Amino acid sequence: MQARLIRFGEIEVEGRRYTHDVVIERGEVRKRSKKPSKPYRARYGHTPLSAAEAIPWGGPKLIIGTGAYGSLPIMPEVFEEAERRGVEVVAVPTEEACRLLADLSAEEVNAILHVTC
């Protein structure tokens, strides 16, 4: 699957550009809904990724793009839930996450890609 961070705040997935965080679940792209994680913003200084969000758990690996500078906080509960489900979490800056997606077919991709910080 082809994805690339165009610049801070903009990503391209399979030729389509987005100016918001995206969730990719088995190749289907949707906007990341941060609303469930907003209550934790004060604790982290930024809206983190929490287990309350609609995370694409349907595969053996979840790739999390942590932003242009790798600053997206990931709450411990996300890692705990992944372990419980037997899902490997790979959390790397978004540009690197995009490179990891290139080796996968769309059906193999379960990812959350943060496009800022």
Q: How does DSSP classify residue 78? A: H
d(Cα 35, Cα 13) in Å, to the nearest integer?
23
Backbone angles phi, psi at 7, to 5 degrees: -165, 175
Residue type, 32: R
CATH of the domain at 24: 3.40.1230.10
> Structurally, how many domains does the chain consist of?
1
Single pTM value for the model: 0.96
Range of the domain at 7: 3-113
pLDDT in tens, the chain (117 residues): 999 999 999 999 999 999 999 999 999 999 999 999 999 999 999 999 999 999 999 999 999 999 999 999 999 999 999 999 999 999 999 999 999 999 899 999 999 999 999
Structure tokens at 113: 């890609």
